[in-house]
Chain A
Amino acid sequence: MAGRIPEALADACADVSEAGPGDAVAGVAPRFVARPAGVTEAAAVLAAASSLGMTAVPRGSGTRLAWGAPPVGCDLVVDTSRMNQVLEHAAGDLVVRVQAGVGLDQLASVLAEAGQRLALDPPAAAPRPGPPQGVTLTAPAHGTTLPGPPKGATLSGPPHGAALPVPSNGSGAGTIGGVLATGAAGPLRLRYGTPRDLAIGITVVRADGTVASSGGKVVKNVAGYDLGKLFAGSYGTLGLIVEAAFRLHPLPAATSFVTLDAAGPDEARAAVAAAAGSPLAPSAVELDRPARGQPFRVGVLLEGDAEGVAERTARMAELLGSCSAAPDPPGWWRGGAAAGADGTLIRVAFWAAELARVLGAIDAAAAAAGIDPAIGGSAAAGVLYAAVAEGAPASAVARFVADLRAEVGSGNGSLPGAPAQPGSAVVLHAPAEVRAAVDLWGPVPGLGLMRAIKDQFDPQHMMAPGRFAGGI
């Protein structure tokens, strides 16, 4: 079988194999899989692919490989699993430099030894995890009494770094390269942003094998264009991410999750706005509702030293009224709608003040389409996910997306100067029949410029062709 591997490809990389059924990308079967061990091999692989006229799709651990449209060409999968080295952890500088194939969980355990973390917590995709990882807690000396039931929650837990669950590379939250390429982010986005906000340097390989770096390993740096911003969320369409450097943060000594139920959209909005607008520096304000008819669950994450977290927990509880608090995340944290791996997953982005209207719009569109999506996400940051179960008819999902898009895209009418489309509904992944029935991306501001960028970086459209907005 090895004889069928083109010579140029075999020469470029020590680990090239023929693809198997498990290597399909969104249903498209590649011919070969190359696993370069580092920048040099990765560059040689793409140069060889380019010379052979082969289209290539980057792959990390595959956590979010189903996101985006199926590639219109996928001759070669470039797998980053052998690029799994933490190259440099400068703890004193709060900076880490890693290869793209490093798992988020693997990295978290390395950083935790120094009491640090990369503040990215994308939803852990299916199979649905047990207790969420990477959040460990220390105890304040005393319990915290809260006004709401259940009363008297006590914050407790092991000291940080002591008992982190350490899954093997690739499980759970995915790889650095994959998280960057998809721009995936979780609850912490409210305070720390998304991968583009934390990346301070990046090395990529262009479709023709050219290696390029921008940024560096210092947090403050404005020399040259920031390619990291461009590649974050680019779905592999501009090239292969091979290395990246990130700004780190101290691992909080203690965490507290203040949760409450809100009966409807207006109550949910009020709770979210109160928490996010408070001076209590929440790290996350999340919302979750598994099915229509149930209340919205609102969760607020407070982080810091034990004493401060206990004080702020009490104050947050006072602010929000009837609520409860615990040092561990509620079961739905990072695991609700956003983690839905089957069926259709839609990301809705909006201005936070529009929360109640958006929740109402989701319900109205769902009712009209006869479906009941789970809803959840970073409400205070203006990002929600709607997960439609796998069995829902494609036409119903398509109608839901169209209605939702019309509503979300037309908001903010009263705000002068705002863009005509101040929100979006993007289908992240969907079953084939749904993909055939909907435009996954909807209207995209600046699409003409995006096409021009693609044409410059990848003139032959060899990198993950067709996966991205506008058929890019």
Chain B
Amino acid sequence: MTAQATRGTAGAPRQTKGAGEVAGAAIDDLVPQMIDICGRRDVLTDPAELATYECDGLTSHRCSPGLVVLPTTAEQVAAIVAVCARAKIPFVARGSGTGLSGGALPRADGVLIVTSKMRRVIAIDQESRRAIVEPGVTNLAVSKAAEPFGLFYAPDPSSQVVCSIGGNVAENSGGAHCLKNGFTVHHVTGLEVVTPDGELVWLGDGTGAAPGYDLVGAFIGSEGTLGIATKIIVKLTRIPEAVTTLLAAFRTMGAGGAAVSAIIGSGILPAAIEMMDALAIEAAEAAVACRYPEGAGAVLIVELDGPADDVRRETEAVRAICEKDGAYEIRAAHDAAERTAIWTGRKSAFAAVGRISPAYIVQDGVVPRTALPEVLDRIAELSAASGVRVANVFHAGDGNLHPLVLFDDAKPGAEEAAEEVSGAILDLCISHGGSITGEHGVGADKSKYMPKMFGPGDLDTMQLLRCAFDPAGLCNPGKIFPTPRLCGEVPGVRREPHPLVAAGKVDQF
């Protein structure tokens, strides 16, 4: 849950468990070594400077880091991590700090490694449709660099102007268009990473078909707990020949939802299908005057892209479906300016809610698309029963809900009530076979919900991967998993054939 306060902070900032005790002396001992590696200017020790990094996009969790370093090369990152590993000091990587689950929440007893100075687009290979970039490069900068070649980088999180590719890799970021194009994990084919013991290694080779275990796939979405990516090979996608964006206004959410099901059922795969309810529309109007059709109980944004003739026919088909399901106004955007006008309301929705509420929580949950109508009804019931207002903005095509739970932080007990509703929404997602996070990650924020979604065997097995990469538990500790697994020594590893097999005594079972 992302508690955003638009006026002051939403309640008292919480210190993450285990982050409170300051290692002090131990951290200070590292400073000269860090200065040797990065230079004095890129090692921050002043408490005022450190405080700048006390949270990421999830402002309700705060903790000033023990030390901040701003490396400029992969070798520097490796050296920094090696120093931490030797000293047994935890470290946390941070890109642009836009994450919404506290994945980059620092530790008072640890080092924060900020990759924002590593922002080179190193190479673009047009014919292979690949780019090699550094982790601090912003998501949008990759697409801008690729544009002259007729290519773009498909995953497009709403924060793409500022969020970094390294952070996208950590979170397996999606975006409005991942319905058709997939997530970060579908668009990365190689990673140079610094392992938690300070070694610089390549995972994958850029081809997408490297031999061995799929370490690239395992690393992406591991929320910074398996190492730090220092180079990223991304797939680039052909810029579609045509893009059309439709805005359809419906009187009710039910009607809009029916249109979504009908579009998907027709066999059309739009690039994006987004939906907003009346409260979210009201907020967007107040904030950015997006001029959506008046009286809408729901608006649907459907974007179609691909070969021009296909897009033209699909647009007609989607328009017909929306009309049949009760859309009373449909607008179509054919150029970038018109498209921006339609998207403005949607993209500003989170921040816009600040216009109608002093504070709010951004929730991120997923349900099967067909469960959307029922889950939305249940959210409405929760809201009615508790008196807590909930604005709904969501990626309707893939069932990814972003309920905005509104509260007045000046009112005693209001935040607690909002958190209760927000948590109940996650329970709804789980009980409908969905997920506690579709794109914001578990981070520091949702680890307590992991046991609701996964059993002990599941969590234990996931952490085997953690133990393989980071047996000492120094790499972004305290994230994702509610209870860390003790890795320990691997008992009796045997690489030879089973002795009985080798001896030909297979009868002796």
**Which of A's residues lie within 8 Å of B, judged by CB?**
6, 31, 52-55, 72-75, 90, 92-95, 115, 183, 193-194, 196-197, 204, 206, 210-214, 216-227, 229-230, 232-234, 238, 249-251, 253, 273, 276-281, 304-305, 307-308, 311-312, 315, 347, 349-354, 381-383, 412, 415-424, 426, 441-442, 444-450, 452-453, 455-457, 459-462, 465-466, 468-471
Q: Do A353 and B127 touch (CB < 8 A)?
A: yes
Q: Do A222 and B497 touch (CB < 8 A)?
A: no
Q: For residues 146 through 201 of chain B, which have their beta carbon under 8 Å from a beta carbon of chain A? A: 150, 171-172, 174, 178, 182-183, 185-186, 190, 192, 195, 201
Please give the distance in Å from B217's CB to the nearest CB on chain A: 3
Q: Do B497 and A73 touch (CB < 8 A)?
A: yes
Closest to A277 in B: B238
Q: Do A222 and B441 touch (CB < 8 A)?
A: yes
With A54-B509, A222-B221, A421-B205 as contacts: A450 and B213 at CB distance below 8 Å:
yes
Q: Do B214 and A382 touch (CB < 8 A)?
A: no
With A92-B265, A234-B213 as contacts: A279 and B307 at CB distance below 8 Å:
yes
With A218-B435, A223-B453 as contacts: A445 and B210 at CB distance below 8 Å:
yes
Please give the distance in Å from B139's CB to the nearest CB on chain A: 16
Q: Do B458 and A466 touch (CB < 8 A)?
A: no
Q: Do B462 and A224 touch (CB < 8 A)?
A: yes
- Which of the candidate stretches B7-15, B329-337, B393-401 sits at the interface with the other chain? B393-401
Q: Do A92 and B369 touch (CB < 8 A)?
A: yes
Q: Among A73, A279, A308, which residue has its beta carbon within 8 angstroms of that of B240?
A: A279
* Across the A-B interface, the 7 shortest Cβ-Cβ residue pairs: A229-B217, A212-B461, A353-B127, A417-B122, A349-B209, A279-B241, A250-B267
- B293 interface residue, CB < 8 Å from A? no
With A229-B214, A450-B215 as contacts: A461 and B462 at CB distance below 8 Å:
no
Q: Do A224 and B458 touch (CB < 8 A)?
A: yes
- Which of the candidate stretches B24-32, B57-65, B75-83, B465-473 sits at the interface with the other chain? B465-473
Please give the distance in Å from A256's CB to the nearest CB on chain B: 13
- 26 pairs from A and B in contact (CB 8 Å cutoff): A73-B497, A92-B265, A92-B368, A95-B368, A194-B209, A218-B434, A219-B398, A220-B399, A222-B438, A222-B442, A226-B185, A226-B220, A229-B185, A276-B129, A279-B239, A312-B307, A382-B209, A416-B122, A416-B132, A419-B202, A419-B205, A422-B205, A424-B207, A446-B203, A455-B468, A455-B490
Closest to A445 in B: B202
With A227-B462, A352-B127, A419-B202 as contacts: A308 and B310 at CB distance below 8 Å:
yes
Q: Do B435 and A221 touch (CB < 8 A)?
A: yes
Q: Do A281 and B306 touch (CB < 8 A)?
A: yes
In the assembly, what is the distance between CA of A74 and CA of B500, in Å?
Answer: 11
Please give the distance in Å from B479's CB to the nearest CB on chain A: 11
Q: Which B residues touch A277, using CB under 8 A? A: 126-127, 129, 150, 238
With A249-B269, A352-B127 as contacts: A444 and B212 at CB distance below 8 Å:
yes
Q: Do A92 and B218 touch (CB < 8 A)?
A: no
Q: Among A90, A220, A352, which residue has its beta carbon within 8 angstroms of that of B174?
A: A220
Q: Do B217 and A214 touch (CB < 8 A)?
A: no
Q: Do B366 and A220 touch (CB < 8 A)?
A: yes
Q: Do B207 and A351 touch (CB < 8 A)?
A: yes
Q: Among A238, A382, A452, which residue has its beta carbon within 8 angstroms of that of B207?
A: A382
Q: Do B461 and A382 touch (CB < 8 A)?
A: no
- B450 interface residue, CB < 8 Å from A? yes
Q: Among B195, B239, B400, B506, which residue has its beta carbon within 8 angstroms of that of A31?
A: B506
In the assembly, what is the distance between CA of A307 and CA of B308, in Å?
Answer: 12
Please give the distance in Å from B427's CB to the nearest CB on chain A: 14
- B408 interface residue, CB < 8 Å from A? no
Q: Do A461 and B493 touch (CB < 8 A)?
A: yes
Q: Do A446 and B201 touch (CB < 8 A)?
A: yes
Q: Mark B467-509, 1 if CB is under 8 A from A, else 0.
A: 1110000000000100000010011111111101100001001
- B261 interface residue, CB < 8 Å from A? yes
Q: Which B residues touch A31, using CB under 8 A? A: 506
- B351 interface residue, CB < 8 Å from A? no
Please give the distance in Å from B391's CB to the nearest CB on chain A: 20
- B313 interface residue, CB < 8 Å from A? yes
Please give the distance in Å from B105's CB to the nearest CB on chain A: 17
Closest to B149 in A: A277
Closest to A409 in B: B205
- B341 interface residue, CB < 8 Å from A? no
In the assembly, what is the distance between CA of A212 and CA of B238, in Å?
Answer: 38
Q: Do B435 and A383 touch (CB < 8 A)?
A: no
Q: Do B132 and A446 touch (CB < 8 A)?
A: no
Q: Do B217 and A196 touch (CB < 8 A)?
A: yes
Q: Do B491 and A308 touch (CB < 8 A)?
A: no
Q: For residues 289 through 326 of chain B, which have their beta carbon under 8 Å from a beta carbon of chain A? A: 306-307, 309-310, 313
Q: Among A278, A416, A448, which residue has its beta carbon within 8 angstroms of that of B238?
A: A278
Q: Do A351 and B212 touch (CB < 8 A)?
A: no
Q: Do A6 and B509 touch (CB < 8 A)?
A: yes
In the assembly, what is the distance between CA of A249 and CA of B469, in Å?
Answer: 35
- B367 interface residue, CB < 8 Å from A? yes
Closest to A29 in B: B506
Q: For residues 268 through 282 of chain B, which have their beta carbon under 8 Å from a beta carbon of chain A? A: 268-269
Q: Which A residues touch B433, using CB under 8 A? A: 216-218
- B204 interface residue, CB < 8 Å from A? yes
Inter-chain pairs besides A72-B496, A223-B437, A229-B218, 16 sampled, C-beta below 8 Å: A193-B186, A212-B460, A213-B454, A222-B174, A225-B462, A225-B466, A250-B268, A251-B267, A279-B240, A419-B190, A423-B205, A445-B201, A446-B202, A452-B468, A453-B465, A460-B493
Q: Do A424 and B438 touch (CB < 8 A)?
A: no
Closest to A420 in B: B202
With A75-B498, A234-B213 as contacts: A220 and B238 at CB distance below 8 Å:
no
In the assembly, what is the distance between CA of A277 and CA of B209, in Å?
Answer: 20
Please give the distance in Å from A337's CB to the nearest CB on chain B: 15
Q: Do A53 and B307 touch (CB < 8 A)?
A: no
- B130 interface residue, CB < 8 Å from A? yes
In the assembly, what is the distance between CA of A354 and CA of B458, in Å?
Answer: 41
In the assembly, what is the distance between CA of A342 and CA of B480, in Å?
Answer: 47
Please give the distance in Å from B204's CB to the nearest CB on chain A: 7
Q: Which A residues touch B209, using CB under 8 A? A: 194, 347, 349, 381-383, 424
Please give the distance in Å from A229's CB to the nearest CB on chain B: 3
With A220-B438, A281-B307, A461-B493 as contacts: A351 and B370 at CB distance below 8 Å:
no
Q: Among A232, A441, A444, which residue has its beta carbon within 8 angstroms of that of B217?
A: A232
With A226-B185, A417-B122 as contacts: A455 and B509 at CB distance below 8 Å:
no
Please give the distance in Å from A292's CB to the nearest CB on chain B: 24
Q: Do B464 and A457 touch (CB < 8 A)?
A: yes
Q: Among B125, B217, B399, B467, which residue has its beta carbon within 8 angstroms of that of A351?
A: B125
Q: Which A residues touch B307, using CB under 8 A? A: 279-281, 308, 311-312, 315
Please give the distance in Å from A193's CB to the nearest CB on chain B: 6
